[in-house]
Amino acid sequence: GESVGLHLPTLSVQEGDNSIINCAYSNSASDYFIWYKQESGKGPQFIIDIRSNMDKRQGQRVTVLLNKTVKHLSLQIAATQPGDSAVYFCAENRAGGYQKVTFGTGTKLQVIP
């Protein structure tokens, strides 16, 4: 069935190192993909998104890569900081009359000081 899933449930990274969080999706008709960050006790916060006609998009310290051939999405965080500790969700938006965003399970990023 259609799904958005993540390869690793928990990722531990040393402060200052780069983090890479991966996500697999199965619906090739998805219009665009979004990464959200959710800190403990808070709602998900938009980080960055990427359209299906792009393969890379950069933000401040974050880069999202999209590989449509293997239906894979990744979020790269440069120089990871303690404030980056959170659960990260990828989500896909399947267009078609109205947008419908489906979330994956999430990856917990732990930054080691």
Partner 1 sequence: EAGVAQSPRYKIIEKRQSVAFWCNPISGHATLYWYQQILGQGPKLLIQFQNNGVVDDSQLPKDRFSAERLKGVDSTLKIQPAKLEDSAVYLCASSSRLAGNTIYFGEGSWLTVV
Please give the Cα distance from 62 to 79 (Å, whole number). 10
Please give the Cα distance from 113 to 111 (Å, whole number). 6
- Residue 104 binds partner 1, judged by CB under 8 A: yes
Q: State the residue for tokens 């965003």.
A: 101
Chain residues 26-65 in contact with partner 1, contact rule CB under 8 A: 34, 41-46, 49
- Mark the segment that binds partner 1 (CB under 8 A) among 14-22, 60-68, 78-86, 97-105: 97-105
Nearer to partner 1, 45 or 67 (CB): 45
Residue among 30, 106, 109, 111 that touches partner 1 (CB under 8 A): 106
Residue 97: how many CB atoms within 10 A of its CB? 6
Give Cα separations from 1 to 23, 25, 52 (angstroms): 16, 11, 20
- Residue 96 binds partner 1, judged by CB under 8 A: no
- Binding residues for partner 1, rule: CB under 8 A, are 34, 41-46, 49, 89, 91, 93, 97-106
